[in-house]
Amino acid sequence: MRLDDRDHVSWGPSLQPPGAAPQFRVSVPDIGPAERLNAWRCMQSAMVGPAGFYRDRFEARFAALIGARHVLSTSNGTTALHLALLLNDVRPGDEVIVPSMTYVATANAIRHTGATPVFADVSAETWCLDPGDVAARITPRTRGIVAVHLFGNIAASAALDAVAAAHGLWVIYDAAHASLSTQGSAGSGSLGRLSAYSFHLNKTITCGEGGALALNDDALLERARWLRSHGMDYHQRNLLHEVGYNYRLSNLHCSILCAQLDNIDTIRARRAAIAAAYGEALSGTPGLSFQPLQPGSQTEVWLYSLLCDRGAGAPPRDAVIAGLAAEGVEARAFFPAIHRMAFHGPPPGRSIPDLPVTDRLAQDGFSLPTYNAMTPDDARVIAERLKRVMDRQASGPVNRLMGVS
Ligand SMILES: Cc1ncc(COP(=O)(O)O)c(C=O)c1O
- The answer to whether residues 335 and 198 belong to one domain is no
Q: Is residue 97 included in any domain, yes or no?
A: yes
Query: Distance, CA 290 to ligand 1 centroid (Å)?
Result: 22
- The answer to whether residues 208 and 327 belong to one domain is no
Residue scoring higher pLDDT (395 or 298): 298
- The answer to whether residues 95 and 153 belong to one domain is yes
pLDDT digits (tens, 9 = 90+) for 323-372: 999 999 999 999 999 999 999 988 778 899 999 999 999 999 999 999 99
- The answer to whether residues 207 and 288 belong to one domain is no
DSSP letter at 124 equals T
Spell out which residues line ligand 1, taking CB within 6 angstroms.
76-78, 102-103, 105-106, 148, 174, 176-177, 198, 200, 211
Q: List the alpha helices (DSSP H) in 230-284.
A: 251-262, 264-282
Q: Is residue 13 included in any domain, yes or no?
A: no
pLDDT score at 350: 83
pLDDT digits (tens, 9 = 90+) for 184-232: 999 999 999 999 999 999 999 999 999 999 999 999 999 999 999 999 9
What is the chain's Cα-based Rg?
A: 21
- Per-residue confidence at 393, pLDDT binned at 50, 70, 90? confident
Query: Distance, CA 84 to ligand 1 centroid (Å)?
Result: 14
Q: Is residue 347 included in any domain, yes or no?
A: yes
- The answer to whether residues 150 and 279 belong to one domain is no
Which of 200, 202, 207, when mutated, tests ligand 1's pocket best, judged by the most ligand atoms within 8 Å of its CB? 200
Domain-terminating residue out of 262, 285, 313: 262
Q: Is residue 214 included in any domain, yes or no?
A: yes
Q: Is residue 15 included in any domain, yes or no?
A: no
Query: Distance, CA 237 to ligand 1 centroid (Å)?
Result: 31
Residue range 15-38: mean pLDDT, rounded: 85
Residue 233's contacts (CB-CB under 8 Å, 6 or more residues apart) are 222, 226, 239, 240, 241
Which of 75, 148, 198, when mutated, tests ligand 1's pocket best, judged by the most ligand atoms within 8 Å of its CB? 198
pLDDT score at 396: 59
Query: Distance, CA 200 to ligand 1 centroid (Å)?
Result: 7
Domain-terminating residue out of 235, 262, 289: 262
Domain around 129: 33-262
Residue range 51-79: mean pLDDT, rounded: 97
Amino acid letter, 312: A
Q: How far apart are CA 1 and CA 3, in angstroms?
A: 6
Query: Distance, CA 175 to ligand 1 centroid (Å)?
Result: 9
Dihedral Cα 39, 40, 41, 44, nearest 10 deg: 120
Residue 402 reports pLDDT greater than 70: no
pLDDT score at 21: 85
Count of domains for the chain: 2
- The answer to whether residues 327 and 387 belong to one domain is yes
370 vs 2, 71, 90, 321, 374, CA distance in Å? 17, 27, 36, 15, 7
The CATH number of whichever domain residue 342 belongs to comes to: 3.90.1150.10
Query: Distance, CA 111 to ligand 1 centroid (Å)?
Result: 15
pLDDT score at 311: 87
Domain-terminating residue out of 218, 243, 262: 262
pLDDT score at 129: 98
- Asked if residue 145 lies in contact with residue 117, where contact means CB atoms within 8 angstroms, the answer is no
The CATH number of whichever domain residue 115 belongs to comes to: 3.40.640.10
pLDDT score at 5: 42
- The answer to whether residues 80 and 173 belong to one domain is yes
pLDDT score at 326: 96
Q: Is residue 221 included in any domain, yes or no?
A: yes
Q: Is residue 360 included in any domain, yes or no?
A: yes
Q: How far apart are CA 220 and CA 241, in angstroms?
A: 14
- The answer to whether residues 228 and 308 belong to one domain is no
Which of 26, 73, 75, 78, when mutated, tests ligand 1's pocket best, judged by the most ligand atoms within 8 Å of its CB? 78
- The answer to whether residues 206 and 309 belong to one domain is no
Residue 24 reports pLDDT greater than 70: yes
- The answer to whether residues 145 and 211 belong to one domain is yes
Dihedral Cα 225, 226, 230, 233, nearest 10 deg: 120
Where are the strands (E) in 78-231, listed by range? 95-99, 116-120, 142-148, 170-174, 182-183, 186-187, 194-198, 211-215
Kindly give the number of the ligand 1 atom that is closest to the alpha carbon of 202: 14
Q: Is residue 156 included in any domain, yes or no?
A: yes
- Asked if residue 327 lies in contact with residue 181, where contact means CB atoms within 8 angstroms, the answer is no
